[in-house]
A and B are shown apart, each in its own frame.
Chain A
């Protein structure tokens, strides 16, 4: 403690900027971790909160993915003695058409008995939720609104509001208001309740409910009730507690979680390098103090403790600041992420503020502190081992000995060899990821040598640009690799991440375009909402022939996309008339004869899997899908696999005949419309809208606009690349500012001599600028190289674990080249302040330095 007070504190005060940069390194890593996880948790919590509030006192829910539960199942469930209450539910999200209010979660319930499961009003019954329950049930336009939503929009009992429904915009009468807690607090308070049978009609559910909520009978334990209900409804239905819906949400947003974890890990790794860099520099500058301390009797352990305590304190302070910044980031990111989750997965939630578990916050602070200790460990150990005699000598501390370099190179080569062996043999995915880690470590170990060689090759170029300043800048780099290696490694890592992600994005994008070209080839698409993933509304199948009668239309293909339970986890089923679609879309399986596959699928004898689903669930051609259905577990053989982007977690195609027979669902989510030759898509589009304007709410997309929509969703996902690029830039700037500040301090005498012998101020500036640009360039070149390796691993991870896509390895040259001006510009900006600081130094003091 005394050492910290006497030595560390004065150093921190003297080098405020560097101390701030050290804190900023940790802060950045922790902020990215907290920001990404915070936004993700906020969205997940908002979903869970909505689920919990809607569930009310329900202990179990009977559901069948998105296929719904037939009405007769309700009676069967209600007949179970161990069930105290069973109430049907329909859940849908409507556009409010009210400025700034967004969507409204509409819950269809049976008000004659739903109150045994959900609280609608003030306890004690001092006020009715609905003025006249009979009128509420008798009139299908009846709506109960949350008081919060009503007050925010000046709505009172008796007011009429217009909502978009399957039958087009319709007026609803507000016949009741709910207090703003309990159920009314779900979905950020944007909640409405309507009669379940009116909801069936309005949302096109036919004679189905979305699920049945259950409360166990008095004195009956949950498990008994669950088993009895299971026995009655059969294996085709899930009978689970409401909380399981959040687990299913986790399952369908798995890719997002993996991406967030990867980004967070990289951000923290970069934090390690920034801390390492700062502490290496601090120890270099304070080697005299360390020498004196050691000469006065301080032990190696004392010195080690002092520096570890410094790094722990910096880590803790940086983590706390990072936590604050991260929470702000999470607040800004969560609406974006909520929107992305809604578009990608079709789930609904409305984040309000930031919800983050105290455990995650504690973990962030602990991780930040640990990262700081890891980053500070090597410099601290090196400080502890300083020979007091050598430390008190002025010398070439920044030079790495050839022996030290050789050891690093050998270790790197060994690690790389092991990693390559793992790639070749690939025993398990976990070992493959371990191999990836080894390869990253190998490249980090190799980075000083590589930096040295790149700096050597840059020397002639820098000399060509500025003979004196260029040579000085290059030599400074070459002679002091310890000073620059951590910065270079941090820049390398962050750019490698960005390059790897950009490469994968590009490869996915290319495959997506191919899929869009092959599969999404109709001239028009008819959908009930503006979003292709939104499945609240459905059309009756009978609309197929109605659209076909519109002049100019040649063929209409009905599509039903629905999540069904595949071994307890939802999987997207794409229901089409396979033979009809195959007439227009060339199915290209990767492992089957296309003619035979289409033939069998069209006869309802099997399913065509997306490669993503096959990889994620470990299913291959010839296996049998076990799907939960009203008939129990339906066994569907896998006929083949093909690339299909219908759903991020994979999808499978089955024929309409099979689906209708088993699920008895005669609805569609969309129609694919092909036009007669020579017809103007825009004109036919208008005709379809006109034909249904009086009785249907629908959106007709042209081929170009649906492509644009899909690409926009995809780009939103790839927007993560920009976050990583931003992190990379901040790392580059911070690292270079730090390194250049030290470089100038180390070279005060050299720069002083240059000025003394007539060197111009601009020459000093140019020297500093060129050195900074050279550091950026070395980091960039290494980032390009490591990016190539990262890209390989990313593609293998995407192919083998995350998405099951067989992506082509194509290096993103355009993106990589675009990084050049960005990094060079950032390096130049980072050097501006240190260059001016160098000019401000006293010439006499500089010449006396050392």
Chain B
């Protein structure tokens, strides 16, 4: 999941050649043709009440030209609920949700992308996988984050690219070319902060197995853990259609 959250929040387009090179390299190193993992979501609200959910995630394609299916497996009340995402290079993604109890799929409208993703601290927009070319960026300097030296960059959506965020600050580890922190702003207010941890090299791709998303306004937190993570697994295009979503396969 971090593979498509990171670029969504921080994908950067060039205004300074160094910054562009950094982001392009990070994107290149993270590239894979497909991805599979089983995830656990722990949502802690402002009163420290915790709700946990599990799901399976499959992606085919990469950066701005990919399709993904996210299917919840637990708890029982949400088992079978699925989300199909078609990411496009030139426009916002298409998203559909499948509700097995009423056997209906619904399209998530573009206007709704800024709303929270099913009670987590992610928004639907955060689930989109965007090409780095969708943003402009500039290098702000270097900082040490949790013991690792990082580049600090600022990204802004390019004109004509819709986003709920007006700008984001991004920290990229110099040794791994991996994102370690993102702070997203709406106008001048910080609204969301993401921290990446438990880095592991899976088939040559450094991947954070733990993501902590904080909704600064709501003072709530979502912790996401990735298990059974694998890249370049054999997946069929036919598994990423509305028909497949309805079939539950």
Binding site for B on A (CB under 8 A): 75, 78, 83-86, 110, 112-113, 115-116, 125-126, 128, 130-135, 137-140, 197-198, 200-201
Contacts and interface: CB of A to CB of B under 8 A. Distances in A.
Interface string B143-171: 00000000000000000000000000000
A113 B116 CA distance: 9
B46 interface: yes
B110 A78 contact: yes
A112 B77 contact: no
A197 B102 contact: yes
A112 B108 contact: yes
A112 B102 contact: no
Contact of B45 (A113, A128, A137): A128
Given A112-B97, A137-B97, A140-B101, A85 B111 contact: yes
**Sorted from nearest, which 10 A-B pairs have the closest CB atoms?**
A113-B112, A134-B118, A133-B119, A85-B111, A197-B104, A138-B78, A135-B77, A78-B109, A138-B81, A140-B102
A115 B101 contact: no
A197 B124 CA distance: 20
B107 A130 contact: no
Contact of B218 (A84, A110, A125): A125
Given A138-B99, A139-B101, A113 B218 contact: no
B77 A139 contact: yes
B209 interface: no
A116 B217 CA distance: 17
Contacts of B111: 78, 83-86, 113, 116
A197 B106 contact: yes
A228 to B, nearest CB: 15
B66 to A, nearest CB: 22
Contact of A134 (B109, B119, B218): B119
Given A85-B111, A132-B77, A135-B77, 5 more contacts: A113-B111, A131-B51, A137-B97, A140-B102, A201-B102
A130 B217 contact: no
A86 B102 contact: no
B161 to A, nearest CB: 14
Contacts of A198: 102
Contacts of A132: 51, 77, 118-119
B106 A110 contact: yes
Interface in B65-120: 72, 77-78, 80-81, 97, 99-102, 104, 106-112, 115-116, 118-119
Contacts of B124: 112
B99 A137 contact: yes
A86 B81 contact: no
A75 B112 contact: no
A128 B81 contact: no
Interface string B40-82: 0000011000010100000000000000000010000110110
18 contacts: A75-B107, A112-B106, A113-B109, A113-B111, A113-B112, A115-B115, A125-B217, A125-B218, A133-B118, A134-B53, A134-B119, A135-B77, A137-B118, A138-B77, A138-B81, A138-B100, A139-B77, A197-B102
Given A126-B46, A134-B53, A197-B104, A116 B112 contact: yes
A282 B107 CA distance: 79
A201 B108 CA distance: 19
Contacts of B53: 134
B112 A134 contact: no
A200 B218 CA distance: 33
Contacts of A112: 97, 106, 108, 112, 115, 124
A126 B45 CA distance: 10
A130 B119 contact: yes
A198 B112 CA distance: 19
B120 to A, nearest CB: 8
Given A112-B97, A125-B217, A134 B72 contact: yes
Contact of A113 (B72, B108, B119): B108
A138 B101 contact: yes
Nearest to A85: B111
B99 A113 contact: no
Contacts of A125: 217-218
A139 B99 CA distance: 8
Contacts of B109: 78, 85-86, 113
A78 to B, nearest CB: 5
Contacts of B119: 128, 130-134
B13 to A, nearest CB: 23
A201 B45 CA distance: 32
Contacts of B101: 138-140
A205 to B, nearest CB: 12
Contacts of B100: 138
Contacts of B102: 140, 197-198, 201
Contacts of A135: 77-78
Contacts of B116: 133
A134 B82 CA distance: 11
Contacts of A138: 72, 77-78, 80-81, 99-101
Given A137-B81, A139-B77, A197 B45 contact: no
